[in-house]
Amino acid sequence: MATQSCSRWPAGYVSNADGTGAQGPKDMLKLEKLLGVFVDLLGIVLIAGVLLNFSNAVMRYGFGASFVWAEEIMIFGLILIVMAGIVVITIRYDHLRIDAISPILPDWVKAVIRIMISLIICGVLAYIAVQSLTIVQLMMRLGQTSVAARIPMWIPHSFLLVSFSLAAMAALYRAGVDLRQFLSKQTNPAEETVN
């Protein structure tokens, strides 16, 4: 069966052309399968928001009444999708980046840069998570609720706390995976690099 490099994972991780990922570290394969299910669930949340928006439009223009809470729920759903997406792109290393000089750098320099980027991302996300915790605690203490749906505001604010915390852990995990790969290449330089 043909194999191809999987751009979501470090050099050396190989998946089958049919996407089954039969070759490669087992923890990454399980994680990728779990991420696929997670992304599918986010898609369902998005479809639910679209259906809610459609039904609200039908109610408003067809029957002269609407769900006053619908817009808030859709906004909170979109925030959930975006924040959960941060975790997925961090684990998959799919964030936006400029790769202008990367093609001309030696593999070991690319690996060091990739590890440093993951550690910097981890630090920034951990800092934002701590700040988000302060806001969630404030919202809980104040008992503030949303205007129309009466949802406690600490719930949508916790989307940020949870996603930035998970994304920080994901970035740390990526740095560990990249470091393990880098060290294994250093101890066994004859090992072929797959990019």
Cα separation, 194 vs 11, in Å, equals 5
> Is the pLDDT reported for residue 51 higher than 60?
yes
Burial label for 99, CB within 10 Å (0-12, 13-18, 19+), is exposed
Cβ(152)–Cβ(139) below 8 Å: yes
> Is the pLDDT reported for residue 152 higher than 50?
yes
> Is the pLDDT reported for residue 1 higher than 60?
no
Identity (one letter) of the amino acid at 102?
S
Mean pLDDT of 52-74: 89
> Is the pLDDT reported for residue 129 higher than 90?
yes
The pLDDT-based confidence of 8 (bands split at 50, 70, 90) is low
Cβ(10)–Cβ(173) below 8 Å: no
Give Cβ neighbours of residue 28 (< 8 Å, ≥ 6 apart).
9, 13, 21, 177
> Is the pLDDT reported for residue 159 higher than 70?
yes
* Assessment of whether the complete model's pTM goes beyond 0.85: no
Q: Which has the higher per-residue pLDDT, 123 or 193?
A: 123
Q: What is the pLDDT of residue 92?
A: 84
Which whole-number Å values give the CA distances from 77 to 5, 81, 156, 164, in the listed order? 34, 6, 9, 17
Q: Phi, psi (5° rounding) for residue 189?
A: -65, -15
> Is the pLDDT reported for residue 12 higher than 50?
no
Of the spans 101-105, 131-135, 177-181, which averages the highest pLDDT?
Answer: 131-135
Cβ(186)–Cβ(107) below 8 Å: no
Ranges 38-42, 128-132, 156-160: which has the least confidence:
38-42
DSSP helix/strand/coil, 14 = strand
> Is the pLDDT reported for residue 2 higher than 50?
no
Mean pLDDT of 167-186: 88
Q: Which has the higher per-residue pLDDT, 22 or 99?
A: 99
Q: Phi, psi (5° rounding) for residue 192?
A: -75, 140
> Is the pLDDT reported for residue 18 higher than 60?
no
Q: What is the pLDDT of residue 191?
A: 52
